[in-house]
Chains A and B, each alone.
Chain A
Amino acid sequence: MDETQRRVDEIRQESSELENHIIDQFIDGKITRRDFVRRGSVIGMSIPLLSFIAAACGGNNETTGTTGGGTATGEVSSGGNVRVALIQPATAPNPVIVKDEGGAGLIGSTGEFLSFSNAKLELEPRLAESWSPNDDGTAWTFKIRQGVKYHSGAALKADDVKTVFDTLSDPKNSSNALSALGGVLSPGNTEVVDDATVVFHLDGPNGNFPTLVSSANYNAIIIPSNLDPADWGKTFDGTGPFKLEKFTPKVGATFVRFDGYWGEKANPDRMEIKLYDDEAPMVNAIKGNEVDFVEHFSVSGGKALLDDPSVTVIAIRTATHRQLHMRTDKDPFTDKRVRQAIALSMDRNALVDGLWEGKADIGNDSPFAPVYPSTDTSVAQREQNLDQAKQLLADAGQSNLTVELNTWNGFEIPDLAQLVKQYASQIGVTINLKITDAGTYYGDAVFGKSPWLDSVMGITDYGHRPVPNVYLSSVYTSKGTWNAAHFKNPQADQLISEYIGALDLDSQRVAAKKLQELLLDETPVVIPYFYNFLSAAVPKLKNAVSAATGQFDLSRAGFTS
């Protein structure tokens, strides 16, 4: 027995049943190397360990980790000042209530998470060194890194983790984090066992829980338990490789290297964030060499960057999408044949090419984006079929339908609405568009007080999530708070529960396949695409990492000479 095999056997003896199950799946060829690393990282196996096992058990030596969504790696000069263009946050930098990319980017500049969800959907340990579930996934134990200091000098404590998650999971604080933690973790259920151990006691089994407390949940930076989150913006106190030098609301912030960082010290001396109200000046700024990195730009706003050889575009496949919901409890959409007809009227390839210049994955009317390892890609892709659509309408006894579509005037949504209207007209359905501002469309975001949740037909935007749990539980369950289609299907409820509780990839895929097929048949929601997250950098900037959740990591970034 050679040394490598002996080492693998040792690892397997020390691993849990779940970890061994995943290793077996990889060895048997049931999951790809990429899925093995992703899934393994979610359940708490370290990426270097996963890479070693993958190489030892027949995989290649391709490195994983932070290179998935970033500029090219390479030797860079030490030091320097990296200038970042970031969209203006709508609120003060309060980690609890931040709700947009600008806010997420600001708080993530100095704050750290238990783990970092990279562009490959792998979880890289940060303030948590490791994590593992109990047998049924109802409790997850996190080992907290020791010897970590905040920028203020205080020591990181396990109590800080408890305070953060008790705050985020409490409905009265109304954090955006509730979209991930609501129904998963209740306040008071985070237990401090000792200063190196925190246990999360969940409301139910959840195989993807570590992702929900990673950087994918951008409110979940760990801050001192005695610091009021409302005052956090005065100091930006965190444990990250950069610490605050100066912050001017509505203008920007500068950060300098934190020499007391627990890990490898940041390469740049400074990181400067400039805040922009609009995309056009960000595009001009990178073309005019006034910034080195644009955190996010859109295809429509950043066309000038896409074909510019003097700019490096970072494109990350995501689960970001638009949902066209149809009220299953209101005419004319009570009959699923009518809903299927609308879905069949749409030319998804044309939408991807026209709206996203090809920088999107085609959607198949379920939130299982192609980027997810649990997505079953064998489910047949719905294609445009006008004849079938017309026949379905005829079978349903519906003709010359007129429907109002509600939505709001952000991103490419008005263009999508126009195209949906145009496609529907080809099968005899007249759609009248009612496009308002976001505030009007979302209203109070509760049933009865929100055009989003009350309209017969609407288009809503959903940001990227590294796992589909939030989409499933909030949008597709009978009691989902975001169930704009008013879709009540006990089978779907059961399958969603099975998916969320599944600890291994096989079980997730089994539930996913059934769900995908059920949603394709019922079609309460049309999801035509999942578009890429685009960042941009100047070519001489290397090792800049972008994650589709609005986080970015420039601690290893630098300039080539």
Chain B
Amino acid sequence: MGRFLLKRLGLATITLFLLTVIVFFGSQVLPGDVARRILGPFADQRAVDALNHQLGTDRPLLTQYWDWVSHFFRGDLGTSLSYHAPVSDLVGNALVHSLKLAAFAFVLVVPLAVLGGVVAALKRDRPTDRIITLGGLSLTVVPEFVTGIMLILIFGLWLDVLPVSANAPDGSSVLTQMRYLVLPALTLVILLFGYIARITRAGTIEALDADYTRTAVLKGLPRRTVIFRHVLRNSLLPTIAVVATQTGYLIGGLVVIETLFNYPGMGRLIFTAANQKDFPLLASAVLIVGIGFLLATLLADIAYSLLNPRIRYAAAE
């Protein structure tokens, strides 16, 4: 296991390095320059040049890149070019918000979708299966801004039982914060339920049809024991992988939902930073999301190996 983890960490480091290169050089393709974005389209060119010089954005690209990377790994994320504030403050605040929403959504959607998938598999080809499968798929294909607006209309405006924005006032209790997160979290549940449930269903069906399951049944084990001890630990393997890959999206990809619910998360931050060509903010935020994604996949791999000894032994070899 130790060798396995070291190998994964090594690969993760290389991935992160490549990510920084892609983000940095990719942002240079965007039209306009940083000072022009800050001062506006009518700014005097002399002032634009002076600000670019002050910000260091007129230096060679490799120099800028190395400067940023070397500071980053010393913990200095730099200063936002647009907001003139420490990147660590901006990213830290946004990350906390994103993690809260992601965690709340996960806690709701994962058990619900896994249960739905398992039930659908156990009731394969029966009405229950059809309802869960088709219903989930139908909800998944609806764009999240449509779902979000519907939820706001119904629960926020017509029934007036939930807040229409997601950011609770400062100093709010945990329960109040959760109340503010209900609608965006529900939006995510509706979006992700169908996908995760279908993967779980497929994995469960495969496990139900496997020889080891037949053996367990023929041994006379109670159905409950067969499902929980033999079927689930194998059927959840693909589900774990799917859930892990959604982490990056949940932490850094919720631009539409964060905008709709006015929630100051990483998605909006990254989008704004890209628009403003605010490289220190953009790169740091993307890198943080990348680290989160890699950690999630690493945890998924560990869970995989714990659930499936064959993977554990192969890794040890």
Contact = CB atoms under 8 A, between A and B. Distances in A.
Interface string B92-106: 011000000000000
Contacts of B94: 250
Q: Range of interface residues on chain B?
A: 35 or more
Given A172-B47, A276-B262, A443-B41, A249 B156 contact: no
Contacts, number: 123
A251 interface: yes
A249 B90 CA distance: 7
A97 B39 contact: yes
A171 interface: yes
A91 B38 contact: yes
Contacts of A288: 152, 156-157, 160, 163-165
A450 B152 CA distance: 42
SS of A interface (majority) = loop
Contacts of B85: 92, 249
Given A277-B259, A288-B164, A250 B264 contact: yes
B268 to A, nearest CB: 6
Interface stretch (B10-18, B29-37, B117-125, B287-295): B29-37
B84 A438 contact: no
Interface stretch (A69-77, A278-286, A356-364): A278-286
Interface string A84-106: 00001011101001010000000
A251 B42 contact: no
Contacts of B40: 97, 99, 176
B20 interface: no
A251 B84 contact: no
Contact of B93 (A91, A230, A251, A446): A251
B163 A290 contact: yes
Contact of B156 (A90, A172, A246, A284): A284
A450 to B, nearest CB: 8
Interface residues of A, number: 46
A300 interface: no
A27 to B, nearest CB: 43
Contacts of A249: 80, 83, 85, 89-90
Interface of A: 88, 90-92, 94, 97, 99, 171-174, 176, 178-179, 230, 233, 246, 248-251, 274, 276-278, 280-281, 284-285, 287-290, 437-440, 442-446, 450, 452, 481-482
- Report, nearest first, the 9 A-B pairs whose CB atoms are least far apart: A174-B47, A442-B41, A288-B164, A92-B84, A174-B43, A99-B40, A445-B41, A281-B262, A439-B32
Given A171-B46, A276-B262, 12 more contacts: A88-B272, A91-B82, A92-B85, A172-B44, A172-B47, A174-B46, A174-B51, A248-B93, A249-B85, A277-B268, A288-B165, A452-B41
Interface of B: 31-32, 36-48, 50-51, 80, 82-85, 89-90, 93-94, 149, 152, 156-157, 160, 163-165, 167, 170, 259-262, 264, 268-269, 272, 276
